[in-house]
Structure 1
Amino acid sequence: MKVALVTGAGRGIGREIARQLAGHGMTVFAGVRDEGHAPEGSRPLPLDVTDQVAAANAAKLIGEEFGRLDVLVNNAAVCGDFGVPPAEATAAHMRATYEVGVFGVVTITHAMIPLLRASGEGRVVNMTTRLASLSLTAAREPLNTEWAMLAYNSAKSALNAITVLYANELEGAGILVNAVDPGHCATDLTGHTGTRTAAEGAAVAVRMATLGAGGPTGTFSSEEGPLPW
């Protein structure tokens, strides 16, 4: 039985990813702030992704019981500047967003890499967005909308770069690292404005989390296919 950890699994897409991976027969640790929010079929794991001690304790717990981690889904994120035009965004917006969505990803991934190496076929999925695409942004998509966010979009761009760097280094250990865009889903993060359900958004992450040997690594994609960096 494969072992998975999903961060930010207490609600929205993260909760659905944890639920669907459990449906694939995995033992799923649901990284949550409140144990009562973990989805049915998962094992709640109190986890603040910004806390190095909590990350180390989570790795120790998983390691002592299983000796490995087969799947890590870095889903936890915050959007500190929704509706704030780029010229009005401040360093405070940036720090709040990067603390979870960039530094938090590195904190958790760094703690879990030894367990992913022990798996021999580790899978890492980083939840990102097409809003992180420099190519689409340079083409002025989006322009003058609430989705042109300096902190959130650039944090996800940084996450894309992190994805490629991890993928390049860890491929030799059998670890595949990919970034996925779930699409515009109706969740708390989007103010429930999305046109897709959390379950639909989770599907692409689950597909990449369950890749077989020889699957792609260092990619950025949505359900429809590859996205431009």
Structure 2
Amino acid sequence: MKTALITGANKSIGFETARQLLRQGYYLYLGCRDIEKGREAVKLLQAENLNQVEPVEIDVDDINSIQAAREVVGNKTNVLDVLINNAGVSGSMPQAPLDTEISLFRHVFETNFFGVITVTQAFVDLLKESPEPRIVNVTSGLGSLTLHNDPEWHYYKVKPTVYVSSKAALNAYTIVLAYELRDTAFKVNAVDPGYTATDFNNHTGPGTIPEAAARVVKAATLGVDGLTGQFFSDDNAPDTGISPW
């Protein structure tokens, strides 16, 4: 049975991603900052007869919490097949490049960038024990620098400075991580779940949570011939599914 850890998984896209992987037979470590909310999320899944799941407390902004989560998971399994770095924040708005306080940059980067790196480094030893390890970094279409410089892009005028910068940095980390692991069985990819109606954007997005989660699951379950080092985005690239960086 394959195992997966998802951060920020007690609600929204992370929760639905867990549900879909459970339906495919995975054992899920449902990562959440608040363990009580995680337990409630697990109860909801178990009510659907999806029982191969347990909550793991992990705050990606706190290295001690990450290390504690690594110990918890490591005491239960010697192998982790999938790591989905889903936890993320947008930061308060507006985010003008000249007026936004540096403290907001630090706050958002702590979760969206440094948190991903710290979690990945903490769990990579368990992933290396898998015959087909997968790392999925949940990004945003707004992380594409190429498209942000294209006046014809449909989101050209949408430029929340802090959030855009953090996701562009995450994309860059994904590229170099995939390169570092290029000669191994790892598949490392960034996935844009699309503009989805969630708490993240006050439910303004046109996409649905199941659709968004399916994109993440697709990258998490890539076969041996699957791509690595890609920026998957049906929203930015409906024809190819691969966005420009």
Q: Name the TM-score, length of structure 2 as normaliser.
A: 0.88
**What is the distance in 2 between the residues matched to 1:69 and 1:56?**
15
Q: Does 2:55 correspond to 1:63?
A: no
Q: Which secondary structure does the structure 2 equivalent of 1:172 belong to?
A: coil
Deviates more, 1:149-158 or 1:41-50: 41-50
Listed as ranges, the gaps of 5+ residues in structure 2 are none
Query: Which structure 1 residue ranges, 4+ long, deviate > 4 Å from structure 2?
Result: none
Counterpart contact for 2:149–2:156, Cα < 8 Å: no
Q: Does 2:93 correspond to 1:74?
A: no
Cα distance change, pair 67–176 in 1 and its aligned pair in 2 (3 A)? same
Partner in structure 1 of residue 243 of structure 2 = 227
Match for residue 215 of structure 1 among 197, 221, 226: 226
Counterpart contact for 1:121–1:173, Cα < 8 Å: no
For residues 83-113 of structure 1, give each alpha carbon's deviation from its aligned partner in whole angstroms, at most 9, with x where no partner exists.
3333332211211110100011011000011
Q: Which amino acid letter does the alignment assign opposite residue 110 of structure 1? A: Q
**What is the distance in 1 between the residues matched to 2:94 and 2:213?**
25
**What is the distance in 1 between the residues matched to 2:8 and 2:214?**
16
Match for residue 38 of structure 1 among 41, 49, 52: 41
Partner in structure 2 of residue 10 of structure 1 = 10
Match for residue 102 of structure 1 among 108, 113, 121: 113
Q: Which secondary structure does the structure 2 equivalent of 1:131 belong to?
A: helix
**What is the distance in 1 between the residues matched to 2:243 and 2:131?**
28
Match for residue 181 of structure 1 among 188, 192, 201: 192
Identity of aligned residues (%): 41
Counterpart contact for 1:128–1:159, Cα < 8 Å: yes
Deviation of residue 37 (structure 1)? 4.3
Count of residue pairs the alignment pairs up? 227
Deviation of residue 214 (structure 1)? 2.4
Q: Does 2:207 correspond to 1:204?
A: no
**What is the distance in 2 between the residues matched to 1:25 and 1:82?**
40
Counterpart contact for 1:81–1:152, Cα < 8 Å: no
Deviation of residue 121 (structure 1)? 1.2
Listed as ranges, the gaps of 5+ residues in structure 1 are none
Deviates more, 1:198-207 or 1:59-68: 59-68
Q: RMSD over aligned Cα, in angstroms?
A: 1.4
**What is the distance in 1 between the residues matched to 2:211 and 2:22?**
16
Q: Name the TM-score, length of structure 1 as normaliser.
A: 0.94
